[in-house]
Amino acid sequence: MADEGSTEPGGARAAFRAGVRDMVPTFAATVAWGLVTGVAMAQSGFGLGRSYALSTIAYAGSAQLAALPLLVAHAPVWVTVLTALMVNLRFTIYSAALQPTLGALPLRRRCWLAYLIGDMTFVIFMRSGHTQPPALRPAYFTGLAVANFLPWHVGSYAGLLAAGRIPPEWGLDFAGMLALVALLVPMLANRPALAGCATAGALGIAFDPLPARVGLVLATLAGIGAALAAERLRRRP
């Protein structure tokens, strides 16, 4: 009966609100990350107009920060695009994990939800999405995504406007990092996830000197391989 009622508009609205509520604890960290990104862009000399456009279109703090110095230095377009793609390679993994839930939606809605995928959105959905009936999970994900999108842009735009007025001792980047760690640690409860994280983390540090963020890609791929290998070992009789 729960699944039958889940197709009603009221059920979808309730799932959307549940997604918003579950994202509320991350608001402070999300705004902090947005502020850090906005301040960095405003202080780069890239220009406020172009910074606003990049923040809106890209909606990816790590990719923005990686691409920003290349844009300021007038690096070749292909280098800038490739760098942003490598930094955001993890979203390919996120999308593959979300395919069973979102793959049956209309193409237009899938495109919008793909744009709205974020790290915290994905982590919370993978942790709590199973609490919703299958038919309501897209609405729950949408609530998470919208509730992540709005605080991010509030912080990013505020950072662009307030650059130079935010004291560096506030440690906004450190606060955002702590929040991400708090969200990711519960996902490391099984051995495959732990193996993948440990491998990717260690190689990410070792390969950091490599140019053009190649080390990040290699570490990510190695982490995926380690997690898959650990999963196969766990399933062996």
State the pLDDT at residue 117. Answer: 92
Domain containing 46: what range?
Answer: 2-188
| Helix, strand and coil percent figures for the chain, each rounded to 5 | 85, 0, 15
Lowest mean pLDDT among 117-121, 200-204, 229-233: 229-233
Task: Write the CB contacts of 94 (distance below 8 Å, at least 6 apart in sequence).
Answer: 117, 122
Helices of type H across 24-106: 27-42, 48-58, 61-72, 77-87, 90-102
Same domain? For 116 and 200 the reply is no
Query: Tokens for 98?
Result: 């979300």
Same domain? For 81 and 160 the reply is yes
Same domain? For 59 and 113 the reply is yes
Element (H, E) at 139: helix 137-162
From 172, 188, 204, give the residue that closes a domain. 188
Same domain? For 92 and 173 the reply is yes
State the pLDDT at residue 9. Answer: 63
Q: What's the CA gap between 46 and 40, in Å, rounded? A: 10
Considering only the C-alpha atoms of the chain, give the largest distance between any 2 of them, rounded to a whole number of Å.
60
Q: Count up the domains in the chain and report the number.
A: 2
Same domain? For 13 and 65 the reply is yes
pLDDT digits (tens, 9 = 90+) for 200-221: 889 989 988 887 667 777 887 8
Same domain? For 178 and 194 the reply is no
Q: Sign (positive/negative) of CA torsion 101, 105, 111, 115?
A: negative
Same domain? For 211 and 135 the reply is no
Burial class (CB in 10 A: 0-12, 13-18, 19+), 1: exposed
pTM for the full model? 0.71
Same domain? For 100 and 152 the reply is yes
Same domain? For 195 and 109 the reply is no
Same domain? For 129 and 202 the reply is no
Query: Tokens for 64?
Result: 């923005």
Same domain? For 121 and 155 the reply is yes
Q: What is the mean pLDDT of residues 147-151?
A: 93
Same domain? For 108 and 63 the reply is yes
Name the more confident of 85 and 202: 202
